[in-house]
Chain A
Amino acid sequence: MTILETSGLTRRFGYLTAVDSLNLIVAEGEVFGLLGPNGAGKTTVIKMLTTLLPPTAGTATVAGFDIRRRPAQVRASIGYVPQLISVDGALTGYENLLFFAKLYGVPGTLRRNRIEEALKFAGLPEAADRQVRNYSGGMVRRLELAMAMLHRPRVLFLDEPTVGLDPLARQAVWQQVRLLAREYGMTIVLTTHFMDEADALCDRVAILNLGRVAAGGSPDELKRSLHQADATLDQVFAHYAGQPLEVEQEGNYRDISQTRRNHARLG
């Protein structure tokens, strides 16, 4: 069953076309990866699908609701973990969870159980009463993922979930993402520019380049399509994007400064 569909989704910023008539279909229960270098339009796609940014042309349906005409219903059925830090450092882990449980209208009777479950899921029961500003980068990310599952969204959007994490913390986040898909039946749409991440997590991927889909399919299909023994997704990317990863499109100054600041905070 299709849970997310975009038709001719386009976004222009002045003369720059960040996303160029994008057509995607994501089936329910899938882990779908949007791949591409910085500036390929991944984050813009996510922002449009989460109703943060109105499309210039085209539209999309998420969980059966049109993002242009019924944004409130879309917001009620999705979860979102932005690239930048989205927890409040001055609050404890427990309070952050409580805050979002209340904001999402999780009924009072369910709230306590849900929060306990989320803390266990994030592996943070002992750290629940510590202020988040004293957490490590990996703990912050795990908490953010746990916050996104409190209200049982049908579709979960993760924008570069492992950016700035050390290998061990990355593994923990991957484990969580797999759990969300398998145990909770969530559809997950994630962006990344790490090919190993896409390989490890995604059922299907779309490689974006300059706002267009350069290639799509399961990681294995894409690797096979190169007709080359033991091709990696990196090579697939280089093949379809017409260039090796991260050469020219480095994103703008604002992106870079935000990413670096994020790295500094998480590190």
Chain B
Amino acid sequence: MPGLVDPPLSQVWPVRWLGQCLTLAEMELRKLRHDPTELLTRAIQPALWLLVFGEVFTRIHAIPTGDLRYLDFLAPGVLAQSVLFIAIFYGIAVIWERDLGLVHKLLVSPASRAALVLGKALSAGVRALPRRALFICWPGCWV
């Protein structure tokens, strides 16, 4: 009979828990694959900061930063700003999902609450990866 209920979840809870977190992150990666332009658009803002302000102010020495180059002085700030923006943006995205029914459906699933929150955070982290890559690879930062 096809109506039989699945046996109780067999995995031990930490495995199951981690699996749930990773599932949420995996879906985020799949979304990114469908729409890779986001990789570019999300990287524009910090790139502008580093490019326009960073490079220019480094060259004209308009702001005294001691022995430190202006770009090195600026980078942590832009990094912090990036983190803040991404956190706000994905926080708001969860609220939008709540206005749809998706969050309700997640809450009715047997996934643990903590796994859902961590999974969402992990997803935002996945989305922020290209920005991080940009910072690490920014040529000016290496000199």
Q: Contact between B99 and A84 (Cβ–Cβ < 8 Å)? A: yes
Q: Which B residues are CB-close (under 8 A) to A152?
A: 2-6
Stretch at the interface among A101-109, A216-224, A237-245: A101-109
List 13 additional A-B contacts (Cβ < 8 Å) besides A80-B104, A91-B27, A154-B5.
A50-B108, A51-B108, A76-B9, A77-B5, A80-B108, A88-B27, A90-B31, A91-B34, A100-B105, A103-B111, A105-B19, A131-B34, A152-B3
Using an 8 Å CB-CB cutoff, how does the interface string of B90-108 with A read, 1 for contact, 0 for none?
0000000001111011111
Q: Which A residues are CB-close (under 8 A) to B16?
A: 105
State the CA gap A106–B107 with chains docked (Å): 17
State the CA gap A90–B20 with chains docked (Å): 19
Give B32 Cβ to nearest chain A Cβ, in Å.
9
**Given contacts A183-B3, A258-B99, A103 and B109 within 8 Å (CB-CB):** yes
Give A182 Cβ to nearest chain B Cβ, in Å.
10
Residues of chain B in range 1-53 having any CB-CB distance to chain A below 8 Å = 1-6, 8-11, 16, 19-20, 23, 26-27, 30-31, 34-35
B66 at the interface (CB under 8 A from A): no
Q: How many A-B residue pairs have CB under 8 A?
A: 92
B64 at the interface (CB under 8 A from A): no
**Given contacts A104-B109, A152-B5, A185-B1, A85 and B19 within 8 Å (CB-CB):** no
Indicate which residue in A82, A107, A184, A185 contacts B105 across the interface (CB closer than 8 Å): A82
Q: Contact between A80 and B105 (Cβ–Cβ < 8 Å)? A: yes
B110 at the interface (CB under 8 A from A): yes
State the CA gap A107–B27 with chains docked (Å): 18
A72 at the interface (CB under 8 A from B): yes
State the CA gap A78–B5 with chains docked (Å): 10
State the CA gap A87–B132 with chains docked (Å): 30
State the CA gap A152–B3 with chains docked (Å): 7
Residues of chain A in range 77-132 having any CB-CB distance to chain B below 8 Å = 77-78, 80-88, 90-92, 95, 99-100, 102-107, 110, 131
Q: Contact between A83 and B9 (Cβ–Cβ < 8 Å)? A: no
The 10 closest A-B pairs by CB, nearest first: A185-B3, A82-B101, A84-B101, A86-B101, A86-B105, A76-B110, A80-B108, A184-B3, A102-B23, A90-B31
Interface centre among A84, A92, A153, A185, by most chain B C-beta atoms within 10 angstroms, is: A84
Give B78 Cβ to nearest chain A Cβ, in Å.
28
Q: Contact between A86 and B100 (Cβ–Cβ < 8 Å)? A: yes
Indicate which residue in A72, A83, A86, A91 contacts B110 across the interface (CB closer than 8 Å): A72
**Looking across the interface, which residue of chain A has its beta carbon closest to that of B108?**
A80
Q: Which A residues are CB-close (under 8 A) to B107?
A: 52
State the CA gap A50–B104 with chains docked (Å): 10
